[in-house]
Structure 1
Amino acid sequence: MNPPEFHYPPASDQRSRLVEEHLPLVNFLVERMVTQVPASMTRDDLASAAMMGLLDAANRFDPTRGILFKTFAEHRMRGAMLDEARRTDWFSRSLRDKQTRLTRTLEQLEQQLGRGAEEHEIAAALDLDLDSYRDLLTEVSHLGCVSLHQTIDEYEEGRTFIDNLADPQAVTPLEHIERRELTRELAEHLERLTEKERLVISLYYYEELTQKEIAEVLSLTEGRVSQLHSQALHKLKARMSSTIKRRR
């Protein structure tokens, strides 16, 4: 028997079915996010926010956009968890300033070098020793907003890295061309990461391993995996921001 056809806006029974079938996403996303937020935000806090995101996704899901509900729901749930983190005021201005400084320094440094920057070069550009730089990576990684679900830069409203890795139905031929070009460029930027950075990104986003599991696979500490993850995504953010600015 064929599954029932979903319409927009979804009917009450359709919303209930979507929520019920995707409840396992709550615990899955909580386990992935819990290492990215301070201990003051509990698993219960994250789960409650994720559940609200799932309900919101079920209410807003439009199958005509050509996006899987799982993809749409994950985006909404992550956003809800980040909103809750910001609401509880641990997303401090000082950390945001540090993250902005890191991204801008990376962008300027790689433009000067014409290649990917090494750790010691980034540390020097920030006037930090290597240990202090790694401590900074660990600190900003706890912002939770450093992920492929983050917007590409401050000028792009709503467009995220993961949007350019997914394949939603294009609305117009121009949008299709622009999305395809951004996808190609993002793939090139991924290739320019170091081997360990690429492994961390691949295992985290494509194999869906936790940072603890990645640490075991790569024989690294969980803290070092967090640093590599943070550094890789700041590099991607800086490079994609440069790409978008050149197009204006």
Structure 2
Amino acid sequence: MTTARVHRDRPAKHPHDDAPDTAADFRRLSVLDDGPEKDALRARIITAWIPMANRLARQFRNRGEALEDLRQVAQLGLVKAVIRYDPTRGIAFESFAVPTVVGEVKRHFRDHMWEVHVPRRVQELRNRVRTACRELGPSLEDRVPDVTEIAAHTGLSADDVRLGMQALDSYTALSLDAELSSTEDGYSLLDTLADQEPGFDQVIDREAVRPELSRLPERERYILYLRFFCDMTQSRIAEHLGISQMHVSRLINRTCAALCDQVMTDRPRRTAPRPPGPGHPAA
């Protein structure tokens, strides 16, 4: 009987040894005025709870971030929790601090660790899919679970599972200089990317202008031909046609402006072609 009473009266051990009893300090902190004494007491409370913050940080190790950096982020969350905690609400500090610290670490991963911006919902789907793959792995003989199996395990729809699986590869980016495993001679991902073809713009401009060129008076069409296809100067064109150079210049500028205006009118949603330049295939 005596032994049973002793065990009954003994205070229950806290599930974590890094949870100090600072209830009295928090009550005193809540009534102190701002000043050195309050700052010193707050710093003492933070120091007492730092082991808990470090324990929570260790839960996120091996995810691409240094453990020391995770500890700093977790301790920042601890500072915020101490500042915001109100002991008069009757909630234990640990119950308030743990979500605050964990949330700070998760925000750090979301805002600073993803190479590609991924919406928060997709990040959460990715985490659920990743966890499901890890939990299902031992029972599948090292086979990767399929969409149906993950959906049944998580309760997610097949579309959400696919979205989460796509995000699995979005956490880190692959360098363009990375060598492709299926190739030889140092063939990299950069070598597979196509270059922009400047000739495409000329094709678009040529096809946009072609119908309008056929409607020009024969003299204006001939002048454009001499200027942009035969690469003749305005002086030579003027001499060839027996007119002044000023007249040739006005005809070229007026004709090119009219072509652009007409293309804009016929295709208002397309970018107007650039006026033909030297050597430009306008027809």
Give the TM-score taking structure 2 as reference length. 0.33
Q: Counting helix residues as a fraction of each chain, which structure ranks higher?
A: 1
The higher-RCO structure (CA 8 Å, 6+ apart) is 1
Give the TM-score taking structure 1 as reference length. 0.38
**Bigger-Rg structure (1/2):** 2
